[in-house]
Homo-oligomer: A and B are copies of this chain.
Amino acid sequence: MKSLEHYLKINRNRFVKELCEYLRFPSVSGDPRYKKGVAACAKWLVQHCRKIGMEAKLCRTRSNPIVVARTPRRRGKRRPHFLVYGHYDVQSPEPLELWKSPPFHPCIRNSAVFARGASDNKGQHFAHIKAVEAYLKSKTELPCDLTFIIEGEEEVSSPSLVSFLRKNRTLFRCDAVVISDTELYSRRHPTLSYGLRGICGMEITLRGPARDLHSGIFGGSIENPAMALCQMLGQLRDETGRVTIPGFYNDVLPLSLFERAHFLEHPFDGVAYKQSVGVRQLFGESGFTVIEQRSARPTLEINGLTSGYQGDGAKTIIPSSARAKITMRLVPHQRPKKVLAQTIDHLKKLCPPTVRMEIRTDPGSDPYFVSPESEKVQAALEALRKAFGAEPLLAREGGSIPIVDEFKQILGSDSLLIGLALPDDNAHSPNEKFDLDVFEKGMFMSAYLWQALARRVGQSE
């Protein structure tokens, strides 16, 4: 491992340059205007994986291709096999005017690289790729086989990946999936996540009059769809922060005493947290700590509102329609389908007969939960401890990785969620960044991980 560690150290600057190259592609999957950026990004990634000695190919889907890269296989010898999952697609960069440097012109400031996708997720899986390069180029023997699956549709709920996994079920059979698409607490508190929230969403449109109406001539006698929408949505959450949809909490797994006690030891700083997001006061479900509210409790959020006139000045109308996008984060053992049905039932009860309601649902993904005492989790903790020189934390993540539950369902594999994004990395926000110190530690962690995993998987067999 000495020569591998040396290789990682002396090539650090080049790795940063290559990451910047990767970040230059505007691979936004949620907006068809970026189609070309997505395609170019996938192509670059395949070529890069080949350059460092992996077999790599672009696998077509109905929409954005999936990049599959494999380390060279050894004939005859059965070795542990691990998947590394990541995604090269990124969120929309809007609102553009809030970026200090353009989202697709990576810029290094304060030992971090700023660009859309820097931490979510290009930087994180690139650390794993560079660890493989170090193994292959420093002639250090990899104790296992690795397959990278880097998809291009994570930010739009991975519509192609599931059928792709099903088709290639045999090829992808593995001892574990490693995913770096979550957060670590800080450089001194590397983190292993054993739970994820699920998600489901919908777009609700209320239609009133056939056209926008003059609010003087008609106002007072016609329902205002924007008002009806506000009244409906406003009733979905009460003043204690609880979602009021009947049955919403029925399937929620209560937090164990162990978890609640462990979470209390997390180095959470409420004042710094408020400052980092720019609010004077927090708001969440009463009876739970902020850590619990963010990761182990379900939520309902309005992601967008649209109605009537939104330009400068005034337009005195009753808008003909009003629309909201909402998403719900789910925790074990809530199921998206059931929650969507409960929500629709409730909205139908709340909707006045004076407007017509249209609902489009997004099926979303299940929440995920894995035992923090398994051998694989212990291996990941060991690699984190060694690379970061600090005791790792066990955490649940508030975000959703739609595919984690699919890996379990289709391949039967647990996922190890080893986050390399810092809490202030601005994922999904303007000025997204990726810390270069974490990038380096992440490469070492990945290098150590395969040793620890291969040994422990071998022992447990």
Contact = CB atoms under 8 A, between A and B. Distances in A.
A91 interface: yes
Interface residues of A, number: 101
A30 interface: yes
Interface in A421-435: 423, 426-431
Contact of A309 (B293, B303, B400): B303
Of listed A183, A273, A310, A329, residue having the most chain B CB within 10 A: A310
A315 B92 contact: yes
B277 A214 contact: no
Nearest to A30: B313
Interface string A247-282: 000000000000000000000000001000111111
B313 A156 contact: yes
Contacts of A428: 212-214, 315-317
Interface string A334-375: 000000000000000000111010000010000000000000
Interface stretch (A7-15, A16-24, A230-238, A403-411): A230-238
A214 to B, nearest CB: 4
A23 to B, nearest CB: 18
A308 B305 contact: yes
A227 interface: yes
Nearest to A198: B216
Of listed A30, A301, A319, residue having the most chain B CB within 10 A: A301
A233 to B, nearest CB: 4
A105 to B, nearest CB: 19
B234 A280 contact: no
A277 B315 contact: no
A95 B230 CA distance: 23
B304 A426 contact: no
Given A211-B98, A302-B319, A315-B92, A221 B294 contact: yes
A184 to B, nearest CB: 12
Contacts of A311: 31, 92
Nearest to A290: B221
B277 A220 contact: no
B302 A308 contact: yes
A327 B353 CA distance: 24
Given A211-B278, A215-B327, A229 B230 contact: yes
Given A237-B227, A299-B219, A314-B201, A354 B214 contact: no
A219 B308 contact: no
A87 interface: no
Interface of A is mostly: loop
Contacts of A325: 308-310, 314-315
Nearest to A156: B313
Contacts of A222: 277, 279, 282-284
Contact of A293 (B215, B221, B273, B290): B221
Given A209-B279, A221-B283, A214 B317 contact: no
A237 B224 CA distance: 11
Contacts of A213: 277, 428-429
Nearest to A288: B220
A305 B317 CA distance: 12
A133 interface: no
A306 interface: yes
Contact of A302 (B157, B218, B227): B227
Nearest to A29: B313
Contacts of A220: 241, 284-285, 293-295, 297-299, 329, 398
B354 A281 contact: yes
Contacts of A318: 301, 303
Contact of A427 (B92, B214, B354, B399): B214
Given A156-B313, A214-B427, A283-B352, 16 more contacts: A30-B312, A30-B313, A31-B311, A31-B313, A210-B279, A211-B430, A214-B428, A217-B398, A219-B299, A220-B293, A220-B295, A221-B283, A280-B354, A304-B307, A304-B310, A305-B322
22 contacts: A156-B313, A156-B314, A157-B314, A199-B216, A212-B430, A213-B429, A215-B327, A216-B329, A217-B294, A219-B294, A219-B398, A220-B293, A220-B294, A222-B277, A223-B283, A226-B303, A227-B237, A229-B230, A281-B353, A302-B308, A302-B319, A316-B400
